[in-house]
Amino acid sequence: MNDLVSIIIPTRNSGELLENCLKSVKQQTYKNIETIVVDGKSIDNTISLAKKYKCKLYFFVPQVKKGVFDASYKRNYGVKQSKGKYVYWLDADMELPKTLIEEAVSLCKKGADAVILPEDSFGTGIWARAKNLERRCYWGDDTVECPRFLKHSIWNIIGGIDEFLGAGGDDLDIHQKVLEKGFKVDRTKSIVMHNEGKLKLSKLINKHFMYGRDTIKYFYKRPKASIVSYFPIRRAYLRNFKLFLKRPLDACAFVVMRTAEYSAGFLGILYSFLDEANIFKNNK
């Protein structure tokens, strides 16, 4: 008998991309799956889509500051409701190849405790192509790629996601905790696709400003690992220089995009420092 896999999807007004995500889950060759949608009071068609695809639907609104990502809280909440031997958390903009879950389970049965599912992306416009170029550089890079498919028993041992770390650092921290415990990490050959839609640079800037507000927390917790993971000039870029040469226009957009993202992230870090200083001043 195939062991149950629990897929956790945090949502809030995610209807635009959610149906393709749920459809890709439904089309998996591995059939023993429960799909858990943890929703933050959506007002679009997210709820109707979750019901249409017979997901287990939970409503949960984490009490966090405005502008702070709450997906980590929703993922932990979703896993608590799950019953699977394996847990896998993904985002509403992700689309899975048909054999992905089957491959991940097979790797676990062969000895893996956690599995990295490499990611690619697609969309329209120059910034979507630049993001595609970036993601392809990270294939096989353990300082960026993180396991999102775990044995439930391993999840319990490492204590799930550190919600305090917020966006970005939470996945990186999971990887570090898995390695620290000496668990085996493997990766699938199948690749998860991000649907970027018509990606705008302004969206990326806003997103990385929000990331920056939480990034400092990961620096405090894991200073050595954070330097490797967040340093602007990565070995992955140098290793894939031929890819940049083949796509010169996308490469130029990539430089502009990453410069804008890192600048926004730095401003987010600065904002976080100033916010903490104001809190300290007001509490004196």
Q: For residue range 181-222, list pLDDT tens digits in order.
A: 999 999 999 999 999 999 999 999 999 998 888 888 888 888
Exposure of 189 by Cβ count < 10 A (0-12 exposed, 13-18 middle, 19+ buried)? exposed
The lowest-confidence range among 72-81, 124-133, 233-242, 271-280 is 271-280
The Cα-based distances of 208 to 72, 119, 165 in angstroms read 16, 19, 14
- For CA atoms 94, 33, 39, 145, give the dihedral sign: negative
pLDDT of residue 227: 81
| Vertex 248: Cα angle to 245 and 254 (nearest 5) | 105
The candidate with the shortest Cα–Cα distance to 193, out of 50, 93, 49, is: 93
Q: Token digits for 180?
A: 């620290």
Residue 1's pLDDT band (cuts 50, 70, 90): low
8 Å CB contact between 250 and 126: yes
> Average pLDDT in the 213-239 region?
84
Q: Is 12 helix (H, G, I), strand (E, B) or coil?
A: coil
- The CATH H-level (homologous superfamily) assignment of domain 5-283 is Spore Coat Polysaccharide Biosynthesis Protein SpsA; Chain A (3.90.550.10)
Largest CA distance in the chain: 61
Amino acid in position 174: I
Residue 226's pLDDT band (cuts 50, 70, 90): confident
pLDDT of residue 62: 86
Kindly list the domain boundaries of the chain, sorted by start residue.
5-283
Q: pLDDT by residue (tens digit) across 87-129?
A: 999 999 999 999 999 999 999 999 999 999 999 999 999 999 9
> Average pLDDT in the 17-46 region?
96
The number of residues in the chain equals 284
Phi/psi of residue 247, each to 5°? -130, 65
Residues 57 and 88: their CA atoms lie apart, in Å, by 16
What dihedral angle (degrees, nearest 10) is formed by the CA atoms of 172, 174, 177, 179? -70
Residue 280's pLDDT band (cuts 50, 70, 90): very low
Residues 218 and 40: their CA atoms lie apart, in Å, by 25
**Is the model's pLDDT at 67 over the cut of 80?**
no
The candidate with the shortest Cα–Cα distance to 258, out of 211, 204, 218, 209, is: 204
Q: Residue with structure tokens 């400003």?
A: 209
Residues 64 and 67: their CA atoms lie apart, in Å, by 8
Strand order in the sheet with 147-151: 56-59, 33-39, 5-11, 86-89, 147-151, 114-116, 185-187
Residue 275's pLDDT band (cuts 50, 70, 90): low
> Average pLDDT in the 37-52 region?
95
Residues 161 and 149: their CA atoms lie apart, in Å, by 13
